[in-house]
Chain A
């Protein structure tokens, strides 16, 4: 007998209803949650010219946990890495093999870790393979899953085969190129995934979120080299440096774009200004800017190289979490939904 009182004597039958599998452990659990007690006269929720239903959300906020924004970062970095690796391999005349190798490994590990993060978030991890049950173009997540699957294997192959001679080497290079082809969407589809939801903030920023995520992915990769214990040749250094500078410029530009777009509907932009998400957003901006500024200072100190890496990486991470939490907050606010739909 389940503690909530649903019961049917075994002699008489069994609980076979669609939801009979649902279990609740503590029967006193408050829902919609004790914070939802309406402390004003009910008709108050109606008195404003813009009624809501006791301020209850119209939408359900994302049920995802930390590993999803974390994946945004990891996956993005991996994608960017695959692309950079391929470019270096194509035009590096062999001078950038170190960079190629490390990028391939970053991409491979990123792909692997990312996959783990995603599975970790699933309500039914054991069924993660169902992601490849169908291919559904309307679902950014479906597309993304296939991309990730392909990218993960390609990057892994390219990494394992990097530095090999002859046939194996050529095979590795082929893998590298295909990894790059898949790495491009890998770095960007997560932005599409978010902006193709009903969440007002994510939806309104559907034009600016992709460049933002791409920029952040690139900057994340560039900054990573500031932290990784890899020896890069001078040319490799230059490559990464320029890649990073461009990345952070794109990143900052895209952030501005997101803000302006969101600001068209005041309430929609709110989460970017207030609360945890607001703080994270500001932090992301500051850190990226700082990282950019530092990287532009003349001279070559190892310490600065590290600082650029730390700020850049933190910025990239903060950005993903900022966007994630801002979206949750935006879904919680019924007025955001109403006003966004009226404005569009």
Chain B
């Protein structure tokens, strides 16, 4: 099977959280504790080690084009977030143990029995997706339902989504679908609609996302980074800087030793 992924169309999400529950149910994840957050209808907050789908509720004091409400300037954006299964995955590139692999479905998967909980992936994901749990000490995130895919089943979240806001399928087909959808929305006057992370061109930093989104406001509104980059892309200059510095250190060391010789110029001064 070729590259598969998600196209999440936030304009038809009804915030029912079926995806969030289906994910927890299929993966038998525990709850994250019962807390009222006061953040609209979102009492989950973030993606995390035991929340692999998360539905955001964005109350905006601005209208949504194509919609009219007696409330005047108001709209409610609903969006189901998930691991992006990046083409260039920060987590994977950072993982020292090789626990994180790219599967035959082109998804990014953490092998439970390999991860040693070094926590490097946690700071290396530009989307703040993957996290380490205290209890078992290893890193967790969406598996793209690797187990289901191997059984030729649709991922639980997509399966449960009543409105098909989450579409699972062949990436190329998804991209076509998504572009059509954007055009359609533009025709219907929803001019803000755009794709987030649909391909390398639109998001070079990650080489494109296998789980990409249709949004109607800037990424920040959805707590998405405007210009995510797989960190390793930038490490080259750091390595260079380090090389220079360590050579400097060696020079200083040698210098110190030489200059300390009896009769050396340095000594007279000392």
**Direct contact between A and B judged by beta carbons closer than 8 A:** yes
Which residues of A are at the interface with B, using a C-beta cutoff of 8 A? 2, 4-6, 15-25, 27-34, 36-39, 41-43, 45-47, 50-54, 56-64, 80, 83-84, 86-88, 90-92, 96, 121-125, 127-128, 130-131, 133-134, 136, 138-142, 145, 180, 184-185, 187-189, 191-193, 195-199, 203, 206-211, 213-215, 217-218, 235-236, 238-240, 242-243, 246-247, 250, 327, 331, 334, 337-338, 341-342, 344
Contacts of B62 in A (CB 8 A): 46
B248 interface residue (CB < 8 Å to A)? yes
Output the least CB separation between A342 and chain B (Å). Answer: 6
18 A–B contact pairs at CB < 8 A? A23-B135, A31-B35, A32-B46, A34-B35, A42-B40, A50-B220, A56-B46, A58-B225, A130-B99, A130-B115, A140-B94, A140-B235, A140-B238, A197-B120, A198-B126, A242-B260, A243-B256, A338-B226
Residue of A nearest to B45 (CB): A32
User: Is A62's CB under 8 angstroms from B45's CB?
Assistant: no
CB of A4 within 8 A of CB of B30, answer yes
Interchain residue pairs A-B with the least CB separation, the first 3: A123-B117, A123-B137, A17-B28
User: CA A189 – CA B240 in complex, angstroms?
Assistant: 11
Alpha-carbon distance between A206 and B246 when the two chains are bound, in angstroms: 15
Contacts of A27 in B (CB 8 A): 31, 33-34
Report A-chain residues with C-beta under 8 Å of the C-beta of B42. Answer: 54
Cβ contact within 8 Å between A239 and B256: yes
Asked if B40 and A217 sit within 8 Å, CB to CB, the answer is: no
Are B118 and A22 in contact, CB atoms less than 8 angstroms apart?
no
Q: How many residues of B contact A (CB 8 A)?
A: 111
Q: Which residue of A lies closest to B131 (CB)?
A: A60
Q: Given A22-B29, A59-B128, do A198 and B90 touch, yes or no (CB 8 Å)?
A: yes
| Count of inter-chain pairs, beta carbons less than 8 A | 363
In the bound complex, CA of A139 to CA of B89 (Å): 12
Residues of B close to A46: CB separation below 8 A: 58-62, 221
CA distance A342 to B222 in the complex (A): 16
Cβ of B197 within 8 Å of any chain A Cβ, yes or no, is no
Q: How far is the CB of A234 from chain B (nearest CB, A)?
A: 9
Min CB gap B45→A, angstroms: 4
In the complex, whether B122 has a CB less than 8 A from a CB of chain A is: yes
Q: Is B223 an interface residue (CB 8 A)?
A: yes
Select from chain B the residue with minimum beta-carbon distance to A88.
Answer: B257
A37 to chain B, nearest CB (A): 5
- The distance from the CB of A257 to the nearest CB of chain B, in whole angstroms, is 10
- A37 and B36 contacting across the interface, CB-CB below 8 Å: yes
A56–B257 contact, CB under 8 A? Answer: no
Tell me, in angstroms, the Cα distance from A96 to B62 when the chains sit together.
74
CA distance A80 to B58 in the complex (A): 52
| Contact B61 A60, beta carbon cutoff 8 Å | no
B4 at the interface (CB under 8 A from A): no
Q: Are A141 and B254 in touch, CB under 8 angstroms? A: no
**A197–B237 touching, CB < 8 Å:** no
How far is it, in angstroms, between the C-alpha of A242 and the C-alpha of B260 when the chains are bound? 8
Cα separation A28 to B57 with both chains bound (whole Å): 23
A36-B37, A210-B242, A235-B260 are known contacts. Are A139 and B128 too (CB-CB below 8 A)? no
Most B CB atoms within 10 A — which of A51, A92, A247?
A: A51
Stretch at the interface among B159-167, B173-181, B187-195, B262-270: B262-270
Cβ contact of A24, chosen from B114, B135, B218, B222, cutoff 8 A: B135
Closest to A24 in B: B30
Most buried by B among A31, A91, A208, A334: A31
From B26, B140, B234, B257, name the one whose CB has the most chain A CB atoms within 10 angstroms: B257
Instruction: A238-B259, A250-B252 are known; give 4 further A-B pairs, CB within 8 A.
Output: A96-B257, A121-B118, A133-B97, A138-B232
Distance, CA A32 to CA B46, complexed state (A): 8
Closest to A54 in B: B39
Q: Is A191 touching B242 in the complex (CB atoms < 8 A)?
A: yes
Taking the nearest CB of chain B, how far is it from the CB of A275, in angstroms? 19
Cβ-defined contact, B249 with A187, below 8 A: yes
Which listed residue, A15, A59, A195, touches B238 by the CB 8 Å rule?
A195
